Amino acid sequence: MEKDNAGEFMLYVQDRELVIPGQLIGEKIRHDINCFHEGDSVFSSIHGIARVENDRVRVIPSAGWYVPKEGDVVIGVVTNILPGRWAVDIRSPYLCTLRGEEVTRDPLSVDLSRYFKVGDIISAKISMVDEVHSCQTTGPWKLEKGIIIDVNPKRVPRVVGKKRSMLNIIKEKTGCKIVVGQNGWIWIKDKQTELVIKTIKKVEREAQTHGLTDRITGMLDKTLGK
Amino acid sequence: MTNEDIKLIKDGKRLDGRKFDELREIKIEVGVLKRAVGSAYIEWGKNKVMAGVYGPRELHPKYLRDPTKAHLRCVYNLAPFSVEDRKRPGPDRRSVEISKVSSDALNSVVMLEKYPNTGIDVFIEILQADAGTRCVGLTAASVALADAGIPMRDMVSSCAVGKVSGEIVLDLMKEEDNLGECDLPLAIIPRKKEVVLLQMDGKLTKDEFKKAYELAVNGAMKVYEMQKEALVSSINNVMIEE
C-alpha cells in the first residue's frame, strides 16, 4: 500500500520552506493544519513555514491570534464576575468562563469575589470548547504578584521546547518561577526577571533558527557569570 | 485637449519614460506597525500607502456578529495631505465606495469561517496619492492580512490599466489618469486568475477591453511576485537578525 502511494504524490516545496497563502504545496499528499485542498492539489492557507514529514505536510504559522483548544493550560485575567461564574480574558477574541462550582459548592449564593477578584491573574486548563470557540476552564490557580509578558502564541511551543527542554533550561539557570500559557501569556516571578524576559523574547524572535538551545544556554551562562 | 494628448505619449514612451506595459517602481515592507496584528507599507510610484489589520477580535456592534463566520470590515481613508488640494477629512462618497469594494474583494479570499462571532478590521491609509490608490490599497491590505496570520485561500493582487491618447497602457500615473480616456482598476486571485474587483471609468470598445484585461492580469501577476517576495523576506529577515 505504502509503496504504491510513494511514487504518486508530488511536492513543490522543501522542508522548512517559507510559503504564503494560496501557494501550491503538493499534489495527492496528505495534509495537516493550515492547508486546504482543491481536487488533488494541496495549498497553504497561511503565511508560514512548510514542514514535510514523509507523505504528510503541514504549515506552521508565523503569526496569529490564539484560538482556544481543549486541554491547553492558559493564563488569564479575571475581567468580570457573572452570576455563578467568572469571565476570564485569555487573549483570544472569544468569551472564556470559569464556573463557580470549581471553588465552591453553591456559587450562586456566595460572593464570588472572595475567591477571585476582577484583575486577578489565574492559570487554568481549558476543559471545553464549543462550536463558536467559547470555552470553559477548570482547575484555576491564582498567580500572586509576579508579572505577565506577552509573546506570539504561535511561538509558544518553541519557548517551551521539546519535552519542556527550553523552559527547564531557563528555569534551572535563573531559579525563576515561570508559568507558560498556551495563549501567549507567560507569568514570571522571583529571581532574574529581567534576564528571563530578555531570554524569552530572544527565543520568540529567533524561533525558526537552528541551534537555538545552545545559544540560549551560552547567553545565560555568560550573563550569570558561570 | 489634442495638445495634451500629444504630450502624454512621445515616441512610443510615456511621460515618465515607461513602456506601455511597464509598472511603476514598487516597494513593499511588511510588519511596519508594532501594535497591529499585521501590517504592510507600500510605495508604488508616488503612491504611499499603509495598511493595518486588527483582529480577529470581539465585534461591535453586537448585531453584526455571525455565529457561522467572521465579519471583515475594510476602511479606506485618504489622508487630508495626500493630494494636492487639501482633502476634507472624514469619509465621503468616494472613500465609502472604495471601502465597500475592497472589503468585498478581501471577503472572497479570507477563510472567515475559521473565526466565528468575531470581526477583522482592515485599515487602508493613503498617505500620498498618485492614481490607482484602490489597487495599491488592496495589494497592501492582502499582504497585511497574510502577515497577520489570517488563513486565506489566496492573495489578492491588483493593477490598473487605462487608455491614454488611444493607447492601452498599464498602471496609470496621475497625469494619465486625469487626462486619459479610460481607467480600469482590476484585482485578481492570482492562482485561478479570478476577478474580485473590476471597475471602469470611461469608455473602451470590446477589443480594447480584451486587450486591457490581458494587460492588467499580467501586471497583477507581476505584483503578486513582489508580494510573495516581500512576505518571504519578512520571515527571512527575522532569521538573519543577530
Give the DSSP per-residue string, A164-189: GHHHHHHHHHH-EEEEE-TTSEEEEE
CB contact under 8 A, A131 and B37: no
CATH of the domain at B145: 3.30.230.70
Residue A21 has its nearest CB partner, among B57, B154, B241, at B154
User: What b-and-e string marks burial along A54-82, b requiring 16 or more CB atoms within 10 Å of the CB?
Assistant: ebebbbbbbbbbbbbeeebbbbbbbbebe
Tell me, yes or no, whether A80 and A136 share the same domain: yes
A118 belongs to a structural domain: yes
Last residue of a domain, one of A95, A119, A142: A142
Helix (H) or strand (E) holding B210: helix B206-240
What span, in angstroms and rounded, lies between the C-alpha atoms of A135 and A118?
19
A66 belongs to a structural domain: no
A154 belongs to a structural domain: yes
Domains of chain A: total: 3
pLDDT in tens, A28-43: 888 888 899 998 899 9
Structural domain harbouring B64: 3-241
pLDDT in tens, A120-171: 999 999 999 998 889 999 999 999 888 999 998 888 988 888 888 899 998 8
pLDDT(A50) > 60: yes
Residue B56 has its nearest CB partner, among A22, A34, A65, at A65
Q: What is the ipTM of this complex?
A: 0.86
Listed by number, the residues of chain B in 53-72 with a beta carbon closer than 8 Å to a beta carbon of chain A are 55-58, 67
pLDDT category, B242, cuts 50, 70, 90?
very low
CATH of the domain at A42: 2.40.50.100
pLDDT in tens, A194-224: 889 999 988 888 877 778 888 888 888 888 8
Instruction: Rank A6-20, A52-66, B19-33 by mean pLDDT and report only the highest.
Output: B19-33
pLDDT in tens, B158-186: 999 999 988 999 999 998 999 889 999 99
**Which residues of B are less than 8 Å from A131 in CB distance?**
67, 116
Domains of chain B: total: 1
Structural domain harbouring A163: 147-224
**Which residues of A are less than 8 Å from B191 in CB distance?**
22, 24, 43
Last residue of a domain, one of A113, A142, A171: A142
Residue B2 pLDDT: 52
A215 belongs to a structural domain: yes
Give the closest-approach CA distance of B151 to chain A in angstroms.
Answer: 5
B237 reaches A (C-beta below 8 A) = no
Tell me, yes or no, whether A131 and A163 share the same domain: no
What span, in angstroms and rounded, lies between the C-alpha atoms of A26 and A10?
5
**Cis? peptide before B61, omega within 30° of 0:** yes
CATH of the domain at A85: 2.40.50.140
CB contact under 8 A, A45 and B152: yes
CA-closest candidate to residue B114, choices A61, A185, A45, A31: A45
Residue A3 pLDDT: 45
pLDDT in tens, B43-87: 999 999 999 999 899 999 999 999 999 999 999 999 999 999 999
pLDDT(B10) > 90: no
Give the closest-approach CA distance of A109 to chain B in angstroms.
Answer: 30
CA-closest candidate to residue B197, choices B82, B51, B79, B97: B97
Cell readout for A64 is 496569529
User: What's the first-to-final CA gap in chain B, in angstroms?
Assistant: 58
**Which residues of B are less than 8 Å from A17 in CB distance?**
none
Mean pLDDT to the nearest integer, B220-227: 95
pLDDT(B29) > 70: yes
A14 belongs to a structural domain: yes
φ, ψ for residue A127 (rounded to 5)? -100, -25
A184 reaches B (C-beta below 8 A) = no
CATH of the domain at A180: 3.30.1370.10
Tell me, yes or no, whether A158 and A108 share the same domain: no
B208 CB-near residues (< 8 Å, 6+ apart): B163, B168
CB contact under 8 A, B235 and A63: no
Residue A95 pLDDT: 86
